[in-house]
Amino acid sequence: MYKVLKKEKLVPTITKLKIVAPLIAEKTKPGNFIILRVDEKGERVPLTIADYDREEGSITIIFQEVGYSTKKLGKLEVGDCLQDLVGPLGHHIDMEDCKKVVLLGGGTGTALLYPKVKGFYEQGAEVISITGVRTKNLIILEDELNEYSDKLYIATDDGSYGIHGFVTEILKDVLKDEKDIDLVVAIGPVPMMKAVADMTEEYGIETIVSLNAIMVDGTGMCGACRVTVGGETKFTCFDGPSFDAHQVDFEELMNRLNFYQNEEEDVAKANSAEEVN
């Protein structure tokens, strides 16, 4: 079974779990994701694989507790088991031929960015990482990012730590100062990814974004995660989750992400009622 080996609260709402999953650990590459189900009545939730240990046969996920399922996931303790875990899914990021990369992560996006930072660094690229959060106590993975980055910029919206401002403002400077950037990778809220795409387009720098569409099966059988890329419908789970940022219809993606807002609130309410018991 999919047992929790290690648990760590990175910040009050962001949790890191190491889970036994030998088959997945064996195959994972940066950019892949998993789908999990916490319990028998749970929904299927996609999460990026943040790290893996092939020898130990484990994978690590990092998630923000935003709704019913992630809160329930955050309650698991070491020794507890997940109901279902499947992966690695999606295409991994092709990292060869990249000598200099800028990677941006916004909010929890930083957790999803980390495996790519590590991946690029380990294959010898020059890595510039930019991470941004609202305020100081939400910063995650600073040490890890530092270890695998040639340069690391940390920004806070309120200026309580690092640079005062948004990741996009830092990117603006980086794009001005740095030469020969082969690739920009952006992961975070849709408006942030869109802003990055607009910015790099001016410089003609190849940019990829990792999309967080709504998914059900994650294997290409339903199309819940479809997005428009370059005018064509693509399935995020099968064709992605990473796409050319300059081709993605971000507005459509944002609209589709909001579709179940009311239902998510209902489940959250039902959940707090259950907790009373």
Partner 1 sequence: MALQKKKTPMKEQAPEERIKNFNEVPFGYSDDEAVVEAERCLQCKHQPCVEGCPVHVPIPQFIQAVIDGDVEEAGQILKSKNNLPAVCGRVCPQEEQCENVCVMGIKNEPVAIGRLERYVADYNMERGSDKSSAAELEKMKVPELEGRKAAVIGAGPAGLTAAADLAKYGLDVTIFEALHETGGVLRYGIPEFRLPKKIVDQEVEAIKELGVDIQLNVVVGKSITVDELFAKGYESVFIGVGAGLPRFLNIPGENLNGVYSANEFLTRVNLMKAFKYPEYKTPVVVGDKVAVVGAGNVAMDAARTAKRLGAEDVYIVYRRAEEQMPARSEEIHHAQEEGIEFKLLNNPVAIHGEDGRVARMECQQMKLGEKDDSGRRRPIPIEGSNWMLDLDTVIIAIGQNPNPLLTSNTKDLKTKSWGGIEVNDDQQTSREGVYAGGDVVTGAATVIKAMGAGKTAAENIKNYLLEKSKK
Please give the annotated binding residues for [2Fe-2S] cluster, written as ranges.
222, 225, 237
In the DSSP assignment, the letter for residue 91 is P
Q: Which stretch binds partner 1 (CB under 8 A): 53-61, 143-151, 196-204, 220-228?
A: 220-228
Total interface residues for partner 1 by CB under 8 A: 41
Distance CA 224, CA 237 (A): 9
**Which one among 99, 222, 230, 244 touches partner 1, defined by CB under 8 A?**
222
Query: Nearest distance from residue 139's CB to partner 1, in Å?
Result: 31
Task: Burial-class residue 26 by CB neighbours within 10 Å (0-12, 13-18, 19+).
Answer: exposed
Q: Check residue 57 for interaction with partner 1 (CB under 8 A).
A: no
Segment interacting with partner 1 (CB under 8 A) among 46-54, 111-119, 168-176, 227-235: 227-235
Contact between 146 and partner 1 per CB under 8 A? no
Q: Does 161 bind partner 1 (CB under 8 A)?
A: no
Select the residue interacting with partner 1 from 30, 46, 74, 87 (CB under 8 A). Answer: 87
Nearest residue to 38 via CA among 4, 88, 87, 89: 4
| 56/265 with CB nearer partner 1 | 265
Say whether residue 27 binds partner 1 (CB under 8 A).
yes
DSSP E strands in 168-256: the ranges are 183-187, 207-210, 226-229, 232-235, 242-244
Task: Please give the sequence-ordered ranges of beta strands (E in DSSP) within 138-177, or none if there are none.
Answer: 151-156, 163-164
Q: Tell me the DSSP string of 34-82.
A: EEEESSTTPPPEEEE--EEETTTTEEEEEEE--SHHHHHHHT--TT-EE
Q: Is 29 in the site for partner 1 (CB under 8 A)?
A: no
What separation in angstroms does the CA of 240 have from each of 104, 131, 207, 226?
Answer: 18, 23, 14, 10
Instruction: State the residues that interact with partner 1 by CB under 8 A.
Output: 23-24, 27, 37, 41-44, 68-69, 83-89, 216-217, 219-224, 226-228, 233, 238, 252, 255-256, 258-260, 263-264, 266-267, 270
